[in-house]
Structure 1
């Protein structure tokens, strides 16, 4: 199927075999062998084709593009927009207290791996520890994620990030700090840059310049929770108080712009 898919995608994009071969770093003879089924691309080749055609490796291997009608193509090419806008309502599993009020489920470090697969499992969600913050809006859904590592300084490792559930990802502004649940990277806390129109995804950036930015496509994202506040049992060196920590998060976007400027000049 991979050969037929490569041919169908190439024709859809209006490219020659030579064009595609150059774009993915191979020669026309090798590429022609892929299309004709004489040879199969390795994982690096699949990733290159995935990036060039802007489709997932899973789609390359399992979706029969050769059978697509024009309507199928239009639906497939526009599916990322529906997913980003949450047109097919995102179903969020949640629990309530004895007064039927929503609570804030806490995903601690040991539960992070389980949440990646159990986010929609009520039996998993109901066993999570819970809390309530009366100053938060009762009309929105919140969840607390414990982070680890130093990629988002000045937020200390072990802090809980309180995030607001985001239904429509297209409304997220660049420079917003968010918890992002992805299929490949699990739970990450990053500053996001909206690249939906250009790349059908987001650029995720750490405030710590040691960590390189990376892109994530819409079809790799499961949930996004916009930063609201944080809870931490420790302060970073220098005696920064909790208000400074929150302010630090709000100013991360300024630091990120500096990082991106340096990267673009490198």
Structure 2
């Protein structure tokens, strides 16, 4: 007997709420009564009609297979947007990587380098193997084999003590929810926005907090829909030696404070 769980009712409610639609609004768009839509969302309709599956699939751009078999609420925003774009990675029940990559003659993944002058084009070509094939490529034998890597240049001083114009080697992050708070990452943003090197904290409300090591820059948030890719920091290469003088000053202040607290406690 097939005991696979069916997620349809929970998924269609999740997708409606994800788009901030009321039951009345969505029912009108789908040509349903509100009472029928409510029954579908609450699992009161034990045998939905094929038209119901197809209507939801066409409206939300999610395959019927995924509407039935996958708990969409457990997926990252990136995976949801990939499903909507037609990258049906869960159709076979296996977690197929959807990242576009290039390989060398030995069928090993290359490490592509994204030059500053290519940053604007990367936003539109990041998923296009033909575009990636034109980027400079490196083979870095010391990198662990179980990840996909890419190198991005940095600009500005927001992440000091990592020097400006450093080359950041990063690991591709498929599941954004796996990122620990304040993890340094390259974040590729959509539209006219740039990709940035920041500390990343993924919030429960589908926003992402971006903060700098350099405290003169205020943190800010972006919506998950503005983010195309996230690459977790692995290492960096620079022509400059990081300036640790500022860190020494901070440590000196902390040690002075600790000494004063110890003296106060000893005098009691």
Same fold (TM over 0.5): yes
Offset at residue 102 of structure 1 (A) = 0.8
Equivalent residues, number: 179
SS of equivalent residue, structure 2 residue 123:
helix
Q: Which has the larger radius of gyration?
A: 2
Q: Do structure 1's residue 98 and structure 2's residue 105 form an aligned pair?
A: yes
Q: Do structure 1's residue 216 and structure 2's residue 226 form an aligned pair?
A: no
SS of equivalent residue, structure 1 residue 150:
coil
Q: Which residue of 2 aligns with 1:45?
A: none
Q: Do structure 1's residue 201 and structure 2's residue 199 form an aligned pair?
A: no
Give the structure with the higher percent helix.
Answer: 1
TM-score for both structures, normalised by structure 2: 0.58
Q: Trace 1:60-209 onto structure 2 (pairs within 5 A).
A: 65=26, 67=29, 69-70=37-38, 71=41, 81-84=74-77, 86=79, 88=83, 89=89, 91-184=98-191, 185-195=193-203, 197=204, 199-209=205-215
SS of equivalent residue, structure 1 residue 86:
helix
SS of equivalent residue, structure 2 residue 122:
helix
Alignment check: 8 A CA contact 2:209 2:219 kept:
yes
Task: Please give the alpha-carbon distance, in whole angstroms, between the structure 1 residues aligned to 2:153 and 2:109.
Answer: 20
Task: Please give the alpha-carbon distance, in whole angstroms, between the structure 1 residues aligned to 2:172 and 2:98.
Answer: 11
Distance 1:92 1:210, change over 3 A: same
**Cα-to-partner distance string for 1:162-192 (whole Å, 9 max, x where unaligned):** 1111111111110211111121433111101
Gaps of 5+ in 1: 1-11, 13-52, 245-266
TM-score for both structures, normalised by structure 1: 0.59
**Cα-to-partner distance string for 1:120-158 (whole Å, 9 max, x where unaligned):** 122210011111221111121000011111111111221
Gaps of 5+ in 2: 1-12, 31-36, 42-55, 63-70, 84-88, 90-96, 248-268
Task: Please give the alpha-carbon distance, in whole angstroms, between the structure 2 residues aligned to 1:79 and 1:203.
Answer: 23
Task: Please give the alpha-carbon distance, in whole angstroms, between the structure 1 residues aligned to 2:179 and 2:157.
Answer: 24
